[in-house]
Amino acid sequence: MKDGYIKVAAATPSVKVADCEYNVKSIKKLMKEASDKGVKVTVFPELCITAYSCGELFLQERLLEAARRGLLDIVKESKKYDGIFFVGLPLDVKGALLNVACAVSCGEILGFIPKTYLPTYGEFYEARHFVSGRDYDMWIDVEGHKDIPLTTKLIFKATNMPKLVIGAEICEDLWTMCPPSTDAAKAGATLIVNLSASDAITGKSAYRRELIKNQSARLMAGYVYASAGEGESTMDVVYSGHNLIAENGTILKESKQFTTGLIISEIDVDKMTAERRRINTYENDKEDFYTVREFLIKDEETSLTRYIDPAPFVPSSDTERKVRCEEIFDIQANGLKKRLEHTNSKTAVIGISGGLDSTLALLVTVRAFDLIKKPHKDIIAVTMPGFGTTDRTYENALALVRGLDATLLEISIKDSVNQHFKDIGHDPAVHDVTYENCQARERTQILMDLSNKYLGMVIGTGDMSELALGWATYNGDHMSMYAVNTSIPKTLVRHLVRYYADELADKKLSKVLLDVLDTPVSPELLPPENGKIAQKTEELVGPYELHDFFMYYVLRYGFMPKKIYRLAKIAFEGKYSEEVILKWMKVFYRRFFGQQFKRSCLPDGPKVGSVAVSPRGDLRMPSDASASLWLNELEDI
């Protein structure tokens, strides 16, 4: 429960058709297993107490009576465990037969949710035996359990974890135009459970997976789907027990088909509420129409088994890689294309250092020129050697520009900066911030003036990670006329350049790009040591992969610092110690708050992902906000 996590399970027991005693034993076995593994929400399949495929036997009083007795046995069993369990059974209500999901916790029946949509096609002719629960809204008694709500308008709230609110639907309900889970989410449900019995036919598992992913994304909710499997009748169809756990459009866990047992993961309900909070189109207008039943679970830390990606900005699989990288390049290039056309720019002027950011910006500019069918020679690529420039980055800059057939200009800044030192009375032997920033601003002045001379536009090279940390010289590399990398974090910059080297560049250009990737990140504003880079950014402000991780969870979800620290420890276990992670987290928060004034006047640039720092749309943050609340929490760790 700590940090908003709740452990959930989808459970498929082995069943025998119409053998309630056997089925209840199977259910109880999985209840114990789930509880032993710390699960707090366990979902079983539709009609699991009887088995789904009983057909005409559902009209037999003997079966219905056995199902009721089986439910009471499960209710009694639940006293032993901490959590809530959802089981399916047929329920006779005043002479009408309903297919219901029953919520059970700590020896109590919390409520019944009847199935709304009954399939009437093929082998699933449920309307032959059951009636829709659409219009049912009543309180009933079951074998000594009094005043139990029976309605589709029912949600379950954890009293000591109020953000955990559970809604339920049954199988076909999800496959309809207006699933009941939509209204449940509008009433506050952050987790939807689905008790299902879905058959296995070719292609259906992929469709089912996408359906659950999309519903969880649409509702900004967790979704636990448990389906019938082994033991169901195979007279006409086969049930595969295909179980899934999803969260806001991501599949966290999926069972293999034709297996029984549990799949377990953790739903982050804090993440769901944060997501809803930032989307102002999210509707929450149904709460007054719903009955809320509360249940209690023990306060304890939830052990995490779900994967925590150390690089949340980077595509997670090779199959995603090409599509995602091409899309990002296209967004950047088309944004620049529009700006070049609108301003009637004859050229693009870009400073090339031989580093990662300017390399990506040049690659994007080349693609934009291809889109508007302008020759690469109209790209004015300027290398401006200074006091910190090394042979390696200088040679890579030259080779990169030549390899892309752009126009190369070389303008040393040493004499002009030395003159500027004289003008302002600065001792060039003092390698302080003035020494560094004078060089950065001189380079920007050169680029701006060249853009006037060549009727062009200065293309910004700085990335989002630098902007988050304020690692940019104000009105130096901080400024441009269009900043193509403004929403690309450093970890993604590296990934995009690697993709270009592997997939799009010829052998000669690829070699250059790979050497750029292998070069330490540096502004090269301090003199080299023995011909090598002396000023390594990540030694000064910390590893960018850590800062990108922090930035993602701070800006995307607004997580508490302690929660981000916990996730970082898991994601970077074995690579960074807890002390190192905490050290750089403090640096991140101090710099993120202290450097907002630089982000408040950023040039235009294209947004490519869900996290961005533009002051016009994504991060309207005061430049003088205090970081004390966040830093104080870190001090308490």
Give, in degrees to the nearest 5, the angle at Cα 399 between 398 and 400: 90
Candidate list 20, 54, 102, 171, residue with the active-site label: 171
Q: Which of 295, 329, 362 corresponds to the end of one domain?
A: 295
188 and 88 within one domain: yes
CATH of residue 117: 3.60.110.10
Do 490 and 548 contact (CB within 8 A), yes or no?
A: yes
Q: Is residue 483 part of a domain?
A: yes
In the structure, what pLDDT confidence band is assigned to residue 402 with cuts at 50, 70 and 90?
Answer: very high
Cα dist from 196 to 101, 165, 244, 346, 458, whole Å = 10, 20, 11, 62, 58
357 and 282 within one domain: no
pLDDT of residue 562: 97
Q: Is residue 308 part of a domain?
A: no
CA–CA distance, 130 with 142 (Å, rounded to integer): 19
Mean pLDDT of 219-240: 93
Q: Which of 262, 295, 328 corresponds to the end of one domain?
A: 295
Q: Kindly report, residue by residue over 602-611, the tens digit of the pLDDT.
A: 999 999 999 9
CA–CA distance, 42 with 49 (Å, rounded to integer): 15
Looking at the DSSP bridge assignments, the partners of residue 483 are 460
* HEC readout, 43-90: ECCCCCCCCHHHHHHHHCHHHHHHHHHHHHHHHHHHCCCCCEEEEEEE
User: DSSP for 339-400?
Assistant: HHHHTT-SEEEEE--SSHHHHHHHHHHHHHHHHTT--GGGEEEEE---TT--HHHHHHHHHH
Q: Kindly report, residue by residue over 56-86, the tens digit of the pLDDT.
A: 999 999 999 999 999 999 999 999 999 999 9
Do 82 and 297 contact (CB within 8 A), yes or no?
A: yes
151 and 234 within one domain: yes
Do 477 and 343 contact (CB within 8 A), yes or no?
A: no
> Among this protein's residues, is 115 annotated catalytic?
yes
Q: Which residue has the tokens 């990934």?
A: 495
Q: Which residue has the tokens 């009933």?
A: 140
Cα dist from 208 to 185, 225, 254, whole Å = 20, 10, 11
Please say if the pLDDT value at position 531 is more than 80.
no
Q: Which residue has the higher pLDDT, 125 or 634?
A: 634
Please say if the pLDDT value at position 132 is more than 80.
yes
Furthest-apart CA atoms within the chain: distance in Å: 101
Q: Where are the alpha helices (DSSP H) in 221-344?
A: 269-278, 318-342
Q: Give me 35's structure tokens.
A: 């509880």
The rounded mean pLDDT for the chain is 95
Among 56-60, 232-236, 278-282, 629-633, the range scoring the smallest mean pLDDT is: 278-282
> Among this protein's residues, is 126 annotated catalytic?
no
Q: Kindly report, residue by residue over 257-310, the tens digit of the pLDDT.
A: 999 999 999 999 999 999 999 887 888 888 889 999 999 999 889 999 999 999
Which are the contacts of 220, defined by CB distance < 8 A and separation ≥ 6? Answer: 185, 248, 272, 275, 276, 279, 282
Q: What is the Cβ-side half-sphere exposure of residue 257, based on CA atoms within 13 angstroms?
A: 15
Do 389 and 524 contact (CB within 8 A), yes or no?
A: yes
Report helix, strand and coil shares of the chain as percent, to nearest 5.
40, 20, 40
CA–CA distance, 174 with 168 (Å, rounded to integer): 10
Looking at the DSSP bridge assignments, the partners of residue 111 are 103
Cα dist from 610 to 279, 281, 553, 633, whole Å = 12, 16, 11, 26
User: DSSP for 177-211?
Assistant: SS-HHHHHHHTT-SEEEEEE--B--TTHHHHHHHH
571 and 431 within one domain: yes
User: DSSP for 89-131?
Assistant: EEEEETTEEEEEEEEEETTEEEEEEE-S---EETTEEGGGT--
Mean pLDDT of 30-51: 98
> Among this protein's residues, is 157 annotated catalytic?
no
Q: Which of 260, 295, 330 corresponds to the end of one domain?
A: 295
Which has the closest alpha carbon to 44: 100, 126, 107, 114? 100
Give, in degrees to the nearest 5, the angle at Cα 445 between 338 and 519: 80
431 and 282 within one domain: no
Candidate list 115, 253, 271, 337, residue with the active-site label: 115
Please say if the pLDDT value at position 123 is more than 70.
no
Q: Is residue 239 part of a domain?
A: yes
Do 128 and 111 contact (CB within 8 A), yes or no?
A: no
262 and 328 within one domain: no
Do 396 and 519 contact (CB within 8 A), yes or no?
A: yes
Q: Which residue has the tokens 């690529």?
A: 381
Cα dist from 510 to 22, 32, 352, whole Å = 64, 57, 17
Q: Which residue has the tokens 């450093």?
A: 490
Please say if the pLDDT value at position 329 is more than 90.
yes
Q: Is residue 305 part of a domain?
A: no
Which has the closest alpha carbon to 262: 305, 220, 294? 305
In the structure, what pLDDT confidence band is assigned to residue 383 with cuts at 50, 70 and 90?
Answer: very high
520 and 403 within one domain: yes
Q: Which residue has the tokens 């037969």?
A: 97
528 and 574 within one domain: yes
Please say if the pLDDT value at position 107 is more than 60.
yes
131 and 56 within one domain: yes
Mean pLDDT of 480-490: 98
Mean pLDDT of 125-133: 89
In the structure, what pLDDT confidence band is assigned to residue 528 with cuts at 50, 70 and 90?
Answer: confident
332 and 185 within one domain: no
Which are the contacts of 440, defined by CB distance < 8 A and separation ≥ 6? Answer: 473, 476, 477, 523, 525
In the structure, what pLDDT confidence band is assigned to residue 370 with cuts at 50, 70 and 90?
Answer: very high
In the structure, what pLDDT confidence band is assigned to residue 124 with cuts at 50, 70 and 90?
Answer: low
42 and 177 within one domain: yes
Do 86 and 139 contact (CB within 8 A), yes or no?
A: no
493 and 374 within one domain: yes
**What is the count of structural domains for the chain?**
2
Give the SS3 label for residue 420: helix
Q: Is residue 557 part of a domain?
A: yes
pLDDT of residue 126: 85
What percent of the chain is predicted at pLDDT more than 70? Answer: 99
pLDDT of residue 16: 97
Boundaries of domain holding 548? 318-635
Which has the closest alpha carbon to 311: 67, 97, 494, 78? 494
pLDDT of residue 288: 87
* HEC readout, 83-97: CEEEEEEEEEECCEE
Q: Look at phi and psi of residue 625 and say left if phi exceeds 0, alpha if psi is from -120 to 50, else beta.
A: beta
Q: Is residue 86 part of a domain?
A: yes
Q: Is residue 280 part of a domain?
A: yes
pLDDT of residue 121: 67
Mean pLDDT of 196-202: 91
pLDDT of residue 122: 59
CA–CA distance, 40 with 193 (Å, rounded to integer): 13
Beta strands 191-196; 137-142: pairing state: unpaired
Candidate list 7, 28, 46, 253, residue with the active-site label: 46
CATH of residue 618: 3.40.50.620
Give the SS3 label for residue 244: strand
Mean pLDDT of 495-502: 96
Q: Is residue 301 part of a domain?
A: no
Q: Give me 73's structure tokens.
A: 């046995």
Which has the closest alpha carbon to 130: 72, 167, 181, 170? 170
Residue type present at position 315: P
Q: What is the Cβ-side half-sphere exposure of residue 193, based on CA atoms within 13 angstroms?
A: 31
Number of residues that this document lists for the chain: 637
Which has the closest alpha carbon to 103: 115, 125, 116, 87? 87
